[in-house]
Structure 1
Amino acid sequence: MTVPPVAFVKERHDAPPGFFEVEAAGLRWLAVPGGAPVVEPLEVSPGRLTTPRLFPVPPTGAAADELGGRLAVIHDAGARHFGVPPDGWDTDGFIGTIELPHALEPVESWGEFYATYRIQPYLRMAYDKGTIDGHQLEVFERLCRTLTAGAYDDPSERPSRIHGDLWSGNVFWSADGVYLIDPAAHGGHRETDLAMLGLFGMPQLERVLRAYNEAHPLTDGWTDRVGLHRLHPLLTHMVMFGSAYVAPALAMARKYA
């Protein structure tokens, strides 16, 4: 296949089955009318994904305002239940280079979903690799029990259509809009995307959040839960990169357990 010069090609020759296919499904699912621009999958095959090439520009306040409002539109498009994969996909996905479990059947609550599908699988991986010990494992398991008991559930928050890996590197500032790239899309809690935006720092973040809150006001106390939503990415980093992430992840678990 001849790739046009305006295209961007991602390749991974050792990609596990579905690695780029689920990314493409997520991009299509997130591309809702009026939402933030999402890079379009032009061609996808095992080990390869082609999208339009984007060209960066400096972040601006006006672009941040637009991103905040348009991100709320994507979230408000909703999902059938917490943990559901993007339309057209019916198995697990990926976050970074590791698996991201999806809930193929509805779960009772966000807390149950988060404990079962976003914390426990990575605890098992880290424990099996020797990254955490039994005492540390119990701290995380105590949080899982708290989550499953409903301590952080809010019946007014319906499942949102979320990017799922929305750190600043997956927000691309271009001349014709702020694009979302590289999703781990699923049905989740909208606070997860917002918490992730600030995990490693992001330009114009305050304006993004203010515009989002104007478009769809956030529940009181949401800033107190930011750390809880950041625990999952910390756990994935703990699995991928090792012990440097154990201490901050444990601190988060102790705070919310």
Structure 2
Amino acid sequence: MSQPTPAPPPAAAIAAAASSEVRSCTPLGSSHAWTLHRGELADGRPFFAKVADGCAEALGSEAAGLRWLAEAPGGAAVPEVLAADEGVLVLELVREHRADAEAAAELGRRLALTHRAGAPSFGASRPGWLATLPLDNTPGERWPEWYARRRLLPYLRDARDRAHLDSEDVALLERVLSRVAALAGPDEPPARIHGDLWGGNVLWGPEGAVLIDPAAHGGHRETDLAMLELFGAPHLDRILAAYHEAYPLAEGRRARVPLHQLHPLLAHVCLFGRSYRTPLLDAARRLL
């Protein structure tokens, strides 16, 4: 019986994907189903790379999302995709810098332009991923129904099946599901959103904020803002104020924040277990 061919070492995999020799490659640990590396290509370009141990298709989806976000005129900065192939994603390295209030305000203005660039529909033409969790990006016409069907319901079932939520928890969230249309506020056109915009996915470079690790799709623009608020971000008040000035938000947004936070909280329950159950249920109760 033939033995499986061993995977190439990370530097070799990165070199093959980038069609370039790798001058240096330093491991940075791991995240979810991939190992992380930084180094330098033969032409001197510094890089950050992910090499999949599994769930390789998620890296291809991430690359497509970064390129799509980069197409938004004047929008928020994202790292350049240097290569994406066979479970390897190679990005330009972002040299991190201290965040300041003006950089935060500029992020708010540029994020508004990303959202204004729009999308053909809610969802996307490609499958999506949130870490190692699949996202159903089947296109839809109206956000409330799409969000309930493609984001909340699949993850609610997953959390129940993993025994992270009990029957009473599920019943509470099903009550919210039945009211999404009434809770969603005024209709909005599909926005070009990052889709996983927690504070850790905002790097502060010397020229301002750079957004990484997207789950990009056509979504509701309030989702990105609610995600920033969920776990916090430097100078969050400046980000939100500058955003609202550039692209005013519909009245009543504050009351809708828990609705947009339900999906990332459900995802955290699925990924990390019952430690995220309490904030999930608290968000649900604030909507009822």
Secondary structure of residue in 2 paired with 1:80 = coil
| Aligned: 1:126 with 2:150 | no
| Aligned: 1:30 with 2:69 | yes
| Aligned: 1:152 with 2:150 | no
Shift of 1:230: 0.9
Q: Distance in 1 between matches of 2:250 and 2:68?
A: 25
Q: Which residue of 1 aligns with 2:207?
A: 176
Q: Is the 8 A contact 1:238 1:244 kept in 2?
A: yes
Q: Which residue of 2 aligns with 1:193?
A: 224
Which residue identity lines up with residue 72 of structure 1 in the other structure? A
Assess, with a 3 A threshold, how the Cα gap between structure 1 residues 100 and 81 changes in structure 2: closer, same or farther: same
| Aligned: 1:206 with 2:237 | yes
Q: Which residue of 1 aligns with 2:87?
A: 47
Q: Which residue of 2 aligns with 1:93?
A: 128
Shift of 1:219: 0.9
Which residue identity lines up with residue 50 of structure 2 in the other structure? K
Which residue identity lines up with residue 25 of structure 1 in the other structure? A
The CA deviation string for residues 56-79 of structure 1, in whole angstroms up to 9 with x for no partner, is: 110011111111100000000011
Secondary structure of residue in 2 paired with 1:42 = strand
Which residue identity lines up with residue 118 of structure 1 in the other structure? R
Which residue identity lines up with residue 28 of structure 1 in the other structure? R
Q: Distance in 2 between matches of 1:131 and 1:7?
A: 38
Q: Is the 8 A contact 2:52 2:88 kept in 1?
A: yes
| Aligned: 1:59 with 2:99 | yes
Greater share of strand: 2
Q: Distance in 2 between matches of 1:34 and 1:121?
A: 34
Shift of 1:255: 2.1
The CA deviation string for residues 85-119 of structure 1, in whole angstroms up to 9 with x for no partner, is: 2xxxx342110221111123x23x21111111111
Q: Is the 8 A contact 2:183 2:259 kept in 1?
A: no
Q: Distance in 2 between matches of 1:152 and 1:173?
A: 32
Residue identity (%): 47
Q: Which residue of 2 aligns with 1:254?
A: 285
Q: Which residue of 2 aligns with 1:229?
A: 260
TM-score, with structure 1 as normaliser = 0.92
Q: Which residue of 1 aligns with 2:118?
A: 78
Of the two, which has the highest radius of gyration? 2
Shift of 1:126: 1.1
Secondary structure of residue in 2 paired with 1:198 = helix
Q: Is the 8 A contact 1:111 1:153 kept in 2?
A: no
Structure 1, unaligned runs of 5 or more = none
Shift of 1:11: 1.2
Q: Distance in 2 between matches of 1:135 and 1:113?
A: 24
Q: Is the 8 A contact 1:172 1:180 kept in 2?
A: yes
Shift of 1:15: 2.4
The CA deviation string for residues 118-152 of structure 1, in whole angstroms up to 9 with x for no partner, is: 111011111111111222211111111111x4442
Q: Is the 8 A contact 1:110 1:153 kept in 2?
A: no
* Stretches of 4+ aligned residues off by more than 2 angstroms: none
Q: Distance in 2 between matches of 1:42 and 1:151?
A: 41
Q: Is the 8 A contact 2:73 2:117 kept in 1?
A: no
Q: Is the 8 A contact 2:269 2:277 kept in 1?
A: yes
The root-mean-square deviation of aligned C-alpha atoms, in Å, is 1.3
Q: Distance in 2 between matches of 1:186 and 1:165?
A: 10
TM-score, with structure 2 as normaliser = 0.82
Q: Distance in 2 between matches of 1:46 and 1:223?
A: 42
Q: Distance in 2 between matches of 1:126 and 1:216?
A: 35
